[in-house]
């Protein structure tokens, strides 16, 4: 009976141990705070402001920051604070979903390339290099021409850009592990290739990739904001940090607060995920600390 009671506290301690290590690092604590701040603003956007982010009010256009509109209004009288909060939903949705899909595809392709025969490995490397060789902007223009400006087009661009990097990392680690003693022992016992990849190789290669993916989230947010800034992303009047930046760039001489309202959330999110990812890397792989 005592073992049953003592197990949950032990599991809780295991969960809180890395969190305590992160909080001991100043940059890690700052990164975690910024990430939670962005997530909180996106999740509770409807409760933090009473304004509709798409509602047009010509009488209130180009109002500066104040008590009524915390970040001011844009050229159509829309509340910028509401648009920034709801734009965070778009940014986080694209970043998290695209990164998760890219991670899953990269893991599968990397395992196949690293564990498969040499000819298949060469073919996969050729595929990865071909995908990586396309400039992001040109790829975005091609997909938008085929699919039209949409959130789906942004996510497809992100997936095609990030999958080769993940797959290459998994491939390299798989090649290093497939000749290890425990993998050879599993092969001698008749274990199938699928079981060896799932049980013996995947758990040992996925950890560093998850940390890398967390550091790539601000890159994905930057891609989404850049495409929306160029008019290749989400369609108006859907709020996006990139579209807010575009509105601010158009009238930056008369209303600089619009560009600031669109740029500051991107900076905060980038710093938060970068600091948190760096700290996670140091916590889970102390050998890389200081590099």
CA distance 229 to 246: 5
CA distance 243 to 226: 9
Reported as a pLDDT band with limits 50, 70 and 90, residue 85 is: very high
Q: Tell me how far the alpha carbon of residue 117 is from its chain's centroid.
A: 32
Helical residues (DSSP H) of 71-201, grouped into ranges: 80-115, 118-133, 136-147, 151-177, 181-188, 193-195
CATH of domain 2-288: 1.10.3720.10
**271 in helix, strand or coil?**
helix
Question: What is the model's pTM?
Answer: 0.81
Contact call for residues 157 and 227 (beta carbons, < 8 A): yes
pLDDT in tens, 244-276: 888 888 777 777 888 888 889 999 999 998 888
CA distance 65 to 60: 12
Instruction: Kindly tell me if the per-residue pLDDT of 142 is higher than 50.
Output: yes
Biggest distance spanned by C-alpha atoms of the chain: 77
- Per-residue model confidence (pLDDT) at position 5: 46
**168 in helix, strand or coil?**
helix
Contact call for residues 229 and 246 (beta carbons, < 8 A): yes
- Per-residue model confidence (pLDDT) at position 37: 92
- Per-residue model confidence (pLDDT) at position 267: 92
Counting residues of the chain whose pLDDT is more than 70, the rounded percentage is 91
- Per-residue model confidence (pLDDT) at position 86: 92
Cα atoms in the 13 Å half-sphere on the side-chain side of 183:
18
DSSP 200: I
- Taking residues 197-218, what's their average pLDDT? 79
Q: Tell me how far the alpha carbon of residue 63 is from its chain's centroid.
A: 33
Pick the closest to residue 246 from 149, 152, 147 (CA basis): 149
Q: Is the preceding peptide bond at 158 cis, omega within 30 degrees of 0? A: no
CA distance 265 to 243: 13
Give the domain ranges of the chain.
2-288
58 burial type by CB count under 10 A (0-12 exposed, 13-18 middle, 19+ buried)? exposed
Length of the chain equals 291
CA distance 90 to 268: 16
């Amino acid at each position: 009976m005592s073992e049953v009671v003592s197990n949950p506290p032990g599991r809780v301690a295991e969960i809180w141990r890395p969190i305590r290590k992160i909080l001991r690092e100043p940059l890690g604590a700052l990164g975690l705070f910024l990430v939670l701040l962005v997530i909180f603003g996106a999740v509770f956007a409807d409760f933090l402001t009473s304004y509709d982010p798409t509602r047009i009010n010509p009488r209130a256009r180009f109002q500066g920051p104040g008590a009524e509109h915390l970040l001011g209004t844009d050229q159509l009288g829309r509340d910028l604070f509401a648009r920034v909060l709801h734009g965070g939903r778009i940014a986080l949705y694209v970043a998290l979903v695209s990164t998760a899909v890219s991670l899953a595809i990269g893991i599968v392709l990397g395992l196949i390339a690293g564990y498969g025969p040499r000819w298949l490995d060469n073919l996969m490397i050729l595929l990865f290099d071909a995908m990586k060789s396309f400039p992001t902007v040109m790829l975005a223009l091609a997909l938008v021409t085929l699919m039209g400006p949409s959130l789906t087009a942004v996510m497809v661009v992100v997936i095609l850009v990030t999958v080769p990097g993940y797959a290459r990392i998994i491939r390299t680690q798989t090649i290093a592990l497939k000749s290890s003693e425990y993998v050879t022992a599993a092969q001698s016992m008749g274990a199938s290739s699928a079981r060896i990849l799932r049980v013996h190789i995947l758990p040992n290669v996925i950890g560093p990739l998850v940390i890398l993916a967390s550091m790539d989230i601000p890159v994905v947010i930057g891609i989404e904001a850049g495409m929306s800034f160029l008019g290749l992303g989400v369609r108006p009047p859907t709020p996006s940090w990139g579209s807010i930046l575009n509105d601010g760039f158009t009238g930056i001489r008369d209303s600089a607060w619009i560009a600031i309202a669109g740029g500051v959330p991107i900076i905060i999110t980038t710093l938060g995920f970068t600091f948190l990812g760096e700290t996670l890397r140091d916590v889970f792989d102390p050998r890389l600390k200081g590099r």
